[in-house]
Amino acid sequence: MHIFLSILIAAVIAAAFSIAAYIRTKELEISLRRKVVLAALRFFYVFIIAFILFSPLIRLRVRVVEKPQIFLALDMSKSMVADSVAAASIAERLSEKLQEKFNVRELSFGSNATDFSALFDKISVLQNPEIPSAVVMITDGNYNYGTSPLYSYQNISLPFYAFAFGDTTLYPDISITRINNNRYAYLNNLFPVEVLVETSNTDVRDASVSIFHNGKKLDEKPLVGSSVQFDIKAEKAGLQAYTVRVSGINGEKNTANNSRTFYIEVLDGKQKILILAAAPHPDIAAIRRSLESGDMFETSLYVGKEVLNGLRDLDAYNLVFLHGLPSATLPLRATSLKEKSLFVIISESSDLNALRELNTGFNIVPKSNNFSEAVAERNGSFGLFSISKEDEDILKQFPPLNVAFGTYNTTTSGETFLTQKVLGVSSENPLLWFSVHGGRGVGVFAGSGIYRWALNNYFQKQNTAVFDDIMAKSVQLLANRANKEPLVVRNPRYFYEQTPIILNAELYNALFEPVENEKVSISIYDSSGQEYPYTFSPRGKFYYLNAGYLPVGSYRYTAKAKVGNNDLSKSGAFSIIPLQLEDAEMPANLTFLRDMAMRYDGAVFTEAGTPQTQAVQELINTLESRPELKTQIRYEERSHSLIKLWWIWLLLVLLMGGEWFLRKYSAGVV
């Protein structure tokens, strides 16, 4: 209705201008025919100008053609080396053919390690739920990094198709699929090792499994069933590498999976951890199980009224956990907890006002007594310790915790490891926060229900390694605060390959007060003596270094700084250990690909028994025959600004120029 009114008003104005200028005037001595032409020219350009002023936007019905989308992913990992040229050719041919009826988004993945879950996460970000889509992978189906693809693919749930490469012949094979072991053990103690073995296309009767350390065979056992248990004595402190081997079988082609190496950090003594809780809670069981499973820590637990008994001998412990404490019934005032390293877990029973009196540097001003649910987001700038990308991917899937609703205040010397994401909205409120200052460390979990993290970790990976690692690193960070050296460098004993090397340093004066903004340099040396020099970046009261990525091997370092006239140095070592990568001779994992295709309504195509070009065409025909993968045509109403249309201005110039020229030619009026 509005546009018709605008047309009417613009027409009336244009007609009035034209009639007044040419029809009713007798000043121009030109013929009636030319007057009509001049009036028409003026009518049209005045009409256009008036219409633009009254209705600068017009709505048009536009025809939109949307092709379905194909995510075409090419595997470029080591196990595809033998077929890399053929696979690239197939990808190029598929892309060319499919673009006639589909929008093709080409992706690649894999290098030394193959992480299907990272690829699926990327597709999840690129996917438009309103456009019909499918996934086509050119791969051998072998993966060795990240979360389970069957689990991570649930986030996109698109039809799954694969063009399988690699040797699809079913050879006899025996392989070590997994090694279950603690990450830490104590010197001269026994630690358990479970080796899981899988056989295919053969009946194994006399295989055996052996375990080696520094080339020496420690034990050998016959394979009975699908697993073997060892109890190994930790005879040397430090990071130790152990190799497990299963004996080969006749006709086996791939022997690279017959051995695997795992690492144990052997420690000299356990740290004592005191756990105080306001009331029984499943979090406490999860924490104790996690800490005691690795033989690094020895825990003592006091619940409810027994908490007062636990406070009598605080000096015997390296760290104190407070779950739901201080509380209204147990405010914990007038205790020596103000000087003790603490790990506080806030729950519904916590007294947030009493917590402020423990000088943790972490305070919450409650806005109500309500608690809300928040999921964890990793803070990328956190530098006190690191976790691997694989662990971070698993962490993203952890369920929400119950967090206090209020205003969060923390000291500037602290660092946030995890932030809160509430109802899909990211915030800067800390979920897991640390402050390590001088001889005291404080950690705060701003939510309870962390036992659900352990359960979810087990659901994803059939172990709780990520949850245990976060707990162990957190406790190590807080408990190791008795070091009075003026220059301290903190680093894990080992990093996994393809993980950034992150180190932290602290600098103190003679009074053990933090020294800020001084130059702290470090030289890292590999086993051949090659030097990698770096300089730490000041970060508040601490110093931070991200040395990037280094090759697998053993490294030593020397850090140097100067405080006043004192030259300080600190030496240490760390190792970079390899991932269990795939071998170039691995056969295709058709079982996995067919399982994915069956679960997600797709199919697997191979060259076996079929010419390559025919197999490619069959894949294309299958995609084109899916009823939901059809080009969609719809009509949309879109607003267009007349002012931005160049041809409108060109038309105005022509109309006005035509009028001016005709007047001058006919009557000499400019």
Q: How many CB atoms lie within 10 A of CB 96?
A: 10
- pLDDT of residue 29 exceeding 80, the answer is no
Residue 334 lies in a domain: yes
Q: What is the pLDDT of residues 516-567, one digit of tens each?
A: 889 999 999 999 999 999 999 998 778 999 998 898 888 999 999 988 777 8
Length of the chain: 670
Residues 135 and 88 in one domain: yes
Whether the predicted pLDDT of 230 surpasses 80 = yes
Q: Report residue 56's pLDDT band, with 50, 70 and 90 as the boundaries.
A: low
**549 and 599 inside one domain:** no
pLDDT on residue 168 = 63
| Residue-wise pLDDT tens digits, 100-111 | 899 999 998 876
- Tracing tokens 């080339």 back to the chain, one arrives at 215
Confidence of residue 666 (pLDDT cuts 50, 70, 90): low
Tell me the per-residue pLDDT of 239-289, one tens digit each, with 9 for 90 and over.
788 999 998 777 777 777 788 888 887 877 778 899 999 999 999 999 999
In 3D space, the residue among 145, 156, 122 whose CA is nearest the CA of residue 391 turns out to be 145
Q: Are residues 544 and 660 in the same domain?
A: no
* Least confident window among 135-139, 380-384, 469-473: 380-384
Is the domain of 310 the same as that of 459?
A: yes
- CA angle (448, 449, 451) in 5-degree steps: 130
Contacts of residue 217, defined as CB under 8 A and 6 or more positions apart, other chains included, come to 210, 211
Residue finishing a domain among 542, 577, 612: 577
651 and 571 together in one domain: no
Single out the residue in 509, 543, 577 at which a domain terminates.
577
Q: CA torsion 8→10→14→17, rounded to 10°?
A: 110
Angle (CA) 122-126-131 rounded to 5° is 140
CATH number at residue 404: 3.40.50.880
* pLDDT tens digits for range 156-169: 889 999 998 876 66
pLDDT score of 99 more than 60? yes
Same domain, 303 and 434: yes
Residue 250: predicted pLDDT: 77
32 in a structural domain: yes
Q: Could you tell me the two tokens for 306?
A: 């027994």
Nearest Cα neighbor of 199 from 165, 179, 230, 224 is 224
pLDDT tens readout for residues 395-452: 999 999 999 888 999 987 788 999 999 988 899 999 999 988 766 889 999 999 999 9
**Residue 669's pLDDT band (cuts 50, 70, 90):** very low
| 647: exposed, middle or buried (Cβ count in 10 Å: 0-12, 13-18, 19+) | exposed
Average pLDDT taken over every residue of the chain? 84
The CATH number linked to 263 is 2.60.40.10
197 shares its domain with 292: no
- Distance separating alpha carbons of residues 447 and 669, to the nearest angstrom: 85
Last residue of a domain, one of 227, 248, 267: 267
Is 561 found in the same domain as 510?
yes
pLDDT at site 1: 46
Residue 15's pLDDT band (cuts 50, 70, 90): confident
| 582 within domain boundaries | no
Confidence of residue 514 (pLDDT cuts 50, 70, 90): confident
586 found inside a domain? no
Nearest to 640 by CA among 1, 9, 3, 7: 3
Distance in angstroms (rounded) separating the CA atoms of residues 323 and 335: 16
Please state the pTM of the whole predicted model: 0.52
Q: Quote the percentage of the chain above a pLDDT of 70.
A: 89
Q: What is the pLDDT of residue 582?
A: 55
Looking at the structure, do residues 343 and 453 belong to the same domain, yes or no? yes
In a domain, 369, yes or no: yes
The confidence score (pLDDT) of residue 256 equals: 74
In the structure encoding, which two tokens stand for residue 581, read together?
């990568």
Instruction: Round to whole Å and give the CA distance between 322 and 164.
Output: 54
pLDDT of residue 167: 65
Q: How far is CA 379 from CA 135, 372, 489, in A?
A: 32, 20, 22
Residue 171 — very low, low, confident or very high, per pLDDT cuts 50/70/90? confident
- In one letter, which amino acid is 216? K
Question: Do 545 and 400 fall within a single domain?
Answer: no
Q: What is the tally of structural domains in the chain?
A: 5
| Strand, coil or helix: 37 | helix
Q: How far apart are CA 295 and CA 248, in angstroms?
A: 34
Are residue 297 and residue 378 in the same domain, yes or no?
A: yes
Residue at 15 is within a domain = yes
Q: Could you tell me the pLDDT band of residue 615, with boundaries at 50, 70 and 90? A: confident
* Encoded tokens for 258: 């017959």
Confidence band (pLDDT; 50, 70, 90) for 482?
low
Classify 347 as helix, strand or coil: coil
- Mean pLDDT: which of 177-186, 196-205, 219-228 is highest? 219-228
Q: What is the pLDDT of residue 539?
A: 83
Which pLDDT score, from 0 to 100, does residue 631 have? 83
- Kindly report the CATH number assigned to the domain that includes residue 109: 3.40.50.410
Pick from 414, 341, 404, 340: which is nearest to 374 by CA?
404
Q: Please say if the pLDDT value at position 670 is more than 50.
A: no
Looking at residue 478, its amino acid is L
Strand 184-186 versus strand 259-267 pairing type: parallel
Mean pLDDT, residues 596-614 = 81
612 lies in a domain?
yes
Range of the domain at 112: 68-169+591-630
Residues 179 and 259 in one domain: yes
Give the pLDDT confidence of 324-337 residue by residue, as tens digits.
999 989 988 756 78
Q: Say if 548 falls within a structural domain.
A: yes
pLDDT value at residue 583: 54
**Where would I find the beta strands (DSSP E) of 171-330?**
173-181, 184-186, 190-200, 208-213, 216-222, 227-233, 238-246, 259-267, 271-277, 297-303, 319-323
Give the other-Cβ count within 10 Å of 581's Cβ: 17
